[in-house]
Amino acid sequence: MVGPFGDVTAATALRSVLDDPRRAGEPLSITVNYAGPIAEGPFTVEVRPVRTNRSTQHWIVTLSQDDAVTTTATVICGSRRPTWSETELEPPAVPAPEAVALAQPPEFPVWMRNYEMRFVEGGGPLAGEPEERPHSVTTLWVRDTPARPLDHLAVTALSDVFIPRVMVRFGRLVPAGTVTLTVYFHADAATLAAHGDAHVLATARAQHFGAGFFDQTAGLWTTDGVPLTTTHQLVYFKH
């Protein structure tokens, strides 16, 4: 509510690392701390690799505007090697994307017009669901508009495509904003490329609301149930 779509900022921070010739490996995680809003206009991104190990590389990213820090981030890249693999977390059982009605984007916030959203449940007030709910779960099929092939930047932004959980609970707009967000990447570049521009299954929920803050845990999957990311964030709210 006080700045641009949070994961545009996160994707920008990640892009600064991916474009750096010193980068080694693929993204494993990104943590973004939103210190203040970014106003319309120029801003500066500074990146610094603080350590490169055999399997991981650690980066610090700072976004500044008008001599004030707006965002800090840490990015971890690494080399993915063949190992034993198993997924314990299962995606929710949902209809196919084509069987779910397409939601019409609201006038505000503007960033929602950049996505095709098909809500299975928990669309909240911005999707024409102004009712209070006993839980904060949102599940939807989503992809970019216009459609674009999935990559680490796109999946970073999609990981924060959910409106604040407190709005889903109350069915109306409530002042809220992300304080800190972490995205864990489970899919490598080849998996993302194979997914193309197909829909992504996304689901999120909060565990606790209180004292002006709540958390959110979310997950993204391919149409075939392959995990793309899991995310966690802390959000402030006023109510």
Cβ-based neighbours of 223, under 8 Å, separated by 6 or more:
96, 97, 195, 198, 199, 200, 201
Calpha distance 163→176 (Å, rounded): 9
pLDDT band at 239 (very low <50, low <70, confident <90, very high): confident
Residue 94's nearest CA partner among 136, 144, 128, 139 is: 139
The mean of the pLDDT values for the chain is 95
Calpha distance 204→159 (Å, rounded): 9
Domain locations in the chain as residue ranges: 1-79, 100-238
| Strand blocks (E) in 145-212 | 176-185, 200-205, 209-210
Q: Are 159 and 220 in contact (CB under 8 A)?
A: yes
What pLDDT is stored for residue 4 in this prediction?
65
pLDDT tens per residue, range 21-55: 999 999 999 999 999 999 999 999 999 999 999 99
What is the dotted CATH code of the domain comprising 100-238? 2.40.160.210
Query: Is residue 108 predicted with pLDDT exceeding 90?
Result: no
What pLDDT is stored for residue 34 in this prediction?
96
* 3-class secondary-structure state, position 187: coil
Burial pattern 168-207, b for ≥16 Cβ within 10 A else e, equals bbbeebbebebeebbbbbbbeeeebeebeeebbbbbbbbe
With tokens 């994307």, the residue in question is 97
CATH of the domain spanning 1-79, picked from 3.40.50.700, 3.60.20.10, 3.10.129.10, 3.40.50.450: 3.10.129.10
- Rounded to a whole number, what is the distance in angstroms from the first to the last CA of the chain? 14
pTM of the model: 0.95
Give CA 27 to chain center in angstroms. Answer: 14
CB atoms within 10 A of CB 165: 29
pLDDT tens per residue, range 160-203: 999 999 999 999 999 999 999 999 999 999 999 999 999 999 99
Do the domains spanning 1-79 and 100-238 agree at the CATH topology level?
A: no
